[in-house]
Amino acid sequence: MWKIDKTIGFKIAAGYAALFFLSYLLLAVIAYLAAGSTLAHQEREKVLGEIESLSSKYESGGWKALHDTIVDNNRHRKNNPFFTRVLAAGDRQDLVFSPYHWEEFDLETLREIYNPRPGVWFRLPNRSLTFDLEIMTVRLFDGSLFQVGISTQDRLAVLDRLRGYL
């Protein structure tokens, strides 16, 4: 049709434009995946740090120290508090702290899991299936199971904004 699209200069320019576009797409995907992985790792590290802190509180001060610390922590972390649940050994009932923070999740599903596996991450989707609650279970020194988790909603919001820039 036009003579310009048959010239060697046009073909080289078109080739470089295609190479540039594909390179951009590849780098954008890599950046997005790396950001998602980094954010997930940071959130899991926070959960593990919270588990370590609360477990030591429980070992040193017992049930009351654990309870008071969790209640105090939830009061100060209103935006994205940690999900905390104790599956007690002995006479105490299972307890989810600040359940009103977790109304978007079907916590009855957690009750149906009679024996969660300590040391394994568990994902509980919210009712609208738009984000999850990532939960880690550990066994405390007295045989109780202790679960700490965090919502992925903030991470997904950051990634959504990043996707808008890419």
Entry pTM: 0.78
Query: Taking a C-beta distance cutoff of 8 angstroms, is the pair 28, 166 a contact?
Result: yes
| Residues facing residue 134 across a β-bridge | 123, 150
What are the domain boundaries of the chain?
5-165
Within 9-144, strands assigned E span 83-87, 95-97, 121-125, 132-139
pLDDT of residue 20: 94
pLDDT of residue 24: 93
Lowest mean pLDDT among 54-58, 129-133, 162-166: 162-166
Tens digits of per-residue pLDDT, 66-81?
A: 888 888 877 776 666 7
Q: Given a cut of 90, is residue 34 above it in pLDDT?
A: yes
CA distances from 74 to 71, 78, 83, 140 (A): 5, 6, 9, 21
DSSP per-residue string spanning 15-36: HHHHHHHHHHHHHHHHHHHHHH
How many whole angstroms separate alpha carbon 31 and alpha carbon 154?
18
CATH architecture for the domain at 5-165: 2-Layer Sandwich (3.30)
Tens digits of per-residue pLDDT, 117-157?
A: 788 898 889 889 899 999 998 888 888 888 899 999 889 99
Q: In which residue are the tokens 């599956």 written? A: 87
